[in-house]
Chain A
């Protein structure tokens, strides 16, 4: 065995790489076939397969340990086969996310989805738990390779997603699992293991082939499915990346006519367009520019055109340029210098190549400068000042109104973001933010509250003088001026609204009688709320409002979270009476996921205890099971609390959510793996207790220091090149993650010495805690911010240290 030890470790690393890759890939695949928020729920609960593996192995461990070689190899092989098979089966289920609140059968389908997807995770986790339990003298090393493999898996899958389509990446998962199976057979040097490996080759290859020849079965209620039912409409190109699957759709017979919020007084329709769908929804368009000067007149008849009517602008910055509608709007007004920022390189590439001619070479015009960057990062790093900063309407209407973005972090609409925008305005420049109208009002009012606070914190005494809010029936536009609005500007606002049938909801000096004229609401909610928000009782108003309107911050970046628990009974009582859309689904789905995870975890933790007989505990020391539970649950929660919080915090440094997630996740897991390797030395020296105290003390010091650092990020650091910032992030993560990799293997080795039969149970507890942690971290951050999540994690680590040692002497 000894000479093949490293092959065994390699097999474990490869398995963990595939399992973590599969987890990330599932998120992609579900975002395509269903919706992002259900993807989150399904995958979180499927990961309970890790907890279940602990329970299964604890219950059957006597028999399992005897046949380790066969079972370990089989578990890896079955992971690969079931990873593909489960997803293909799951996408055949008639689950309809939109019917969950109407149809009692839908939760049943949902449950079946979790159970099917838990199978591959159960196999992967069982293989690792078996190895930990079988080689209890090498726990730290096995865990190290598990973590390092997972860390590489995160990076590897992101690279693969840039290169291959999602189903091809699914096939890659099968390939990695097959390689891990063969490596296991070689390492274990057992005829039985070889038999299993050879038997699995054919089904594994068959599944890989099937994955390569399968297509995503997208929900018939997604925007793309609906569009493709229109005669003559087809997908003409696809581009895949970890940011999303772009599908470019053309229609020969029924052209796209995307003009959100177009005035009812508009006479002209948009020119022909091509649709770009991201993950089967969130449609944006590229509009044909055939050189006709008035073809884009329709863009002057939407609420976001307002700033162009106030005065002549020179420099305009567009954040979230997408297919170029806002850029065209600026060009229609002959702005000499337009800077456009777009996050997704593939959209920009489309505009510069395949659709360059169609779009009139929009992104290659001399007056347009395009940057592929994250918007907040771009403006933070920029030293430029603008006459107008336009934050485009980036998200889709449907998902936004259903409250599906509640759990999405957005650093574009935070208080700090607004202050940054204001600093980059020329004197008398405008910040313009457009949003979908939601009734009763939510987004628009939260924007207004954010703008008011940002102005106040920037030293403005009378924010009311610097704000204008207008609305159509579908969109609203908020203007924040770097200076007070003049009477001629206010006249221009009034004229713009009157011409196009929009309503003013606020301008300096506005009277109640001027509100609610063209798009009438039962009450002039927007105007009334604006008055309250600008008045002395704004705090009271926000307390009394039935949705959460308090500004989001960088520490609590949940702009789209509006839900208040106090209104839940009222909304539920209105279920059949049109009350359903008032439910902010995203948040409630998360709460429901947490409750299900807690219930399942309780079962998975308690059940094995019934099978563990106390007499199996070896003398002379006895293990306190309550301590084992507290210790492993606490560190399971704490590890992901810190990892998730730092992914968010690093977004402020690295800006790009993808780079941040990839760097932090890979960095954390690999360095935690190295920490685990290091902990083997402490185990060998018998220094387990000191090791735990040292690790927890270090984690506390580093975590809390970093929190302070993120509060005062130095500007000089922010403007460094991305590669250097990524390196800096990794250097920051290294010591913290190394320390975080130690408590788990130290305590597991301790169990190995005193109560080996509890190893799989502890592994299961840790698995359950990790699932709960991921869900809970977001919910806690929504309410208390990420700083609170980190502080809680430190307390949990301290609790774990206090419950150590797990064994007490019987003497």
Chain B
């Protein structure tokens, strides 16, 4: 009887999940978005020194409901491969950039990641699909509070949101395997470099809110020496002709 009861419960749970999926009118749009990213990224991936994007990153993009992270008036456009305004003068990044930046972090499931600039929480949700623990800091209080509530509602329980100044990182939780800074300042804060583990990686998009010019990948080797790689997230060679 008990087994029967449990099976029934399981069936109800599965069917309700299926129904929930059915109710998500954006499933197809999300699949199309990821397919578009996969196509676009093929050539760019070689530019970034890799053949293709990590399938787990693509899975995360397929799972996270981007429409939950944009204001209602922009929901229709949530799965367009473009950045969107989220209020307070902030944006949610272009999914193509999110895919590349996340991939560059080379994450393992057991990693601890710090994000500076939570925004609406989309990037944190993607990270939460891939690693054990995500710590994220947002300086604009209303954005941070909303993002915290949203992530909780969507059951991203492995994300900790803090409202405050990201310049000094999150010392109590440091060191981190990876750090992602969602907007470049005038320099990379020295405390963030200190909080990166040896062997860790940091990604910083450089450019304006609606246009990422380059991606800066900061790598700390086992000895603690820091180097950067400046990556153009586009397949473009500045020279023509025989050069």
Contacts and interface: CB of A to CB of B under 8 A. Distances in A.
Q: Bound pair: A and B?
A: yes
Interface of A: 96, 98-99, 101-102, 220-221, 225-226, 229-231, 253-254, 257-262, 264-269, 397-398, 401-402, 437-441, 473-474, 501, 517-522, 525, 532, 540-541, 543-547, 570-571, 574, 576-582
A269 B81 contact: no
A438 B211 CA distance: 13
A458 B226 CA distance: 41
Contact of A581 (B81, B167, B212, B241): B212
Interface string B180-197: 000001111111010000
Interface in B17-61: 36, 40, 43-44, 47, 49
Contact of A259 (B47, B141, B186, B239): B186
Nearest to A268: B190
A578 B238 contact: no
A401 B213 CA distance: 8
B226 A578 contact: no
A576 B207 contact: no
Contacts of B209: 98, 221
B64 interface: no
A577 B234 contact: yes
B172 interface: no
Contacts of B97: 578
26 contacts: A102-B82, A102-B210, A229-B89, A229-B139, A230-B140, A231-B141, A253-B165, A254-B165, A257-B185, A257-B189, A259-B187, A260-B187, A261-B187, A262-B190, A268-B190, A269-B189, A398-B207, A401-B206, A439-B213, A474-B187, A501-B227, A519-B227, A520-B229, A522-B231, A525-B238, A576-B40
3 nearest interchain CB pairs?
A220-B89, A440-B238, A262-B187
Contacts of A438: 213
A99 B209 CA distance: 10
Given A440-B232, A440-B238, A541-B243, A264 B211 contact: no
B240 A582 contact: no
A439 B210 contact: no
Most chain A beta-carbon contacts within 10 A, residue among B47, B214, B233: B214
Given A98-B208, A544-B241, A229 B88 contact: yes
A532 B241 CA distance: 13
Given A257-B185, A269-B190, A578-B44, 15 more contacts: A221-B209, A230-B139, A230-B140, A269-B191, A402-B207, A402-B211, A501-B227, A518-B228, A519-B228, A522-B231, A543-B241, A545-B239, A574-B236, A578-B97, A578-B212
Interface of B: 36, 40, 43-44, 47, 49, 81-83, 85, 88-89, 96-97, 100, 139-141, 165, 167, 185-191, 193, 206-214, 216, 218, 226-243
Contacts of B40: 576-577
Given A226-B89, A401-B213, A473 B141 contact: no
Nearest to B227: A518
A473 B89 contact: no
A264 to B, nearest CB: 5
Contacts of B233: 578
B140 A522 contact: no
Most chain B beta-carbon contacts within 10 A, residue among A99, A225, A268: A99
Contacts of A580: 211
A254 B139 contact: yes
Nearest to A220: B89
Nearest to A532: B243
A98 B85 CA distance: 11
A570 B216 contact: no
A544 B96 contact: no
B238 A547 contact: yes
Which secondary structure dominates chain A's binding surface? loop
A440 B228 contact: no
B36 A576 contact: yes
A544 B211 CA distance: 26
A629 to B, nearest CB: 42
Contact of B47 (A264, A401, A522): A522
B230 A519 contact: yes
A540 B241 CA distance: 9
Contact of B218 (A254, A264, A570): A264
A545 B238 contact: yes
Contacts of A98: 208-211
A37 to B, nearest CB: 13
Contact of B96 (A517, A570, A578): A578
Given A402-B211, A577-B40, A264 B232 contact: no
A578 B42 CA distance: 13
A540 B242 CA distance: 10
Nearest to A583: B211
B227 A520 contact: yes
Contacts of B239: 541, 544-546
B228 A522 contact: no
Contacts of A501: 226-227
B185 to A, nearest CB: 8
A577 B235 contact: yes
A574 B241 CA distance: 20
Contact of A99 (B210, B227, B237): B210
A576 B190 contact: no
A268 B214 CA distance: 26
B232 A402 contact: no
B209 to A, nearest CB: 6
B207 A581 contact: yes
B152 to A, nearest CB: 23
A98 B211 CA distance: 8
Contacts of A254: 139, 165, 167
A258 B139 contact: no
Contacts of A253: 165
A570 B215 CA distance: 21
Given A401-B213, A577-B40, A544 B240 contact: yes
A225 B87 CA distance: 12
A473 B214 CA distance: 11
A570 B96 CA distance: 19
B79 to A, nearest CB: 13
Contacts of B243: 532, 541, 544
Contacts of A402: 207-208, 211
Contacts of A545: 238-240
A258 B186 contact: yes
Contacts of A541: 239, 243
A441 B230 CA distance: 12
Nearest to A399: B208
A96 B213 contact: no
A577 B44 CA distance: 8
A303 to B, nearest CB: 12
A578 B241 contact: no
Contacts of B230: 437, 439, 473, 519-521
B85 A96 contact: yes
B39 to A, nearest CB: 9
Most chain A beta-carbon contacts within 10 A, residue among B81, B193, B232, B236: B236
A576 B193 CA distance: 32
A165 B164 CA distance: 34
Contacts of A543: 241
B211 A581 contact: yes
Contacts of B49: 522
Nearest to B204: A473
Nearest to A231: B141
Contacts of B193: 264
B145 to A, nearest CB: 13
Contact of B236 (A231, A398, A540, A579): A579
Nearest to B81: A576
Contacts of A397: 186
Nearest to B238: A440
A520 B228 contact: yes
Nearest to A253: B165
A101 B210 CA distance: 9
A357 to B, nearest CB: 25
B7 to A, nearest CB: 47
Nearest to A522: B47
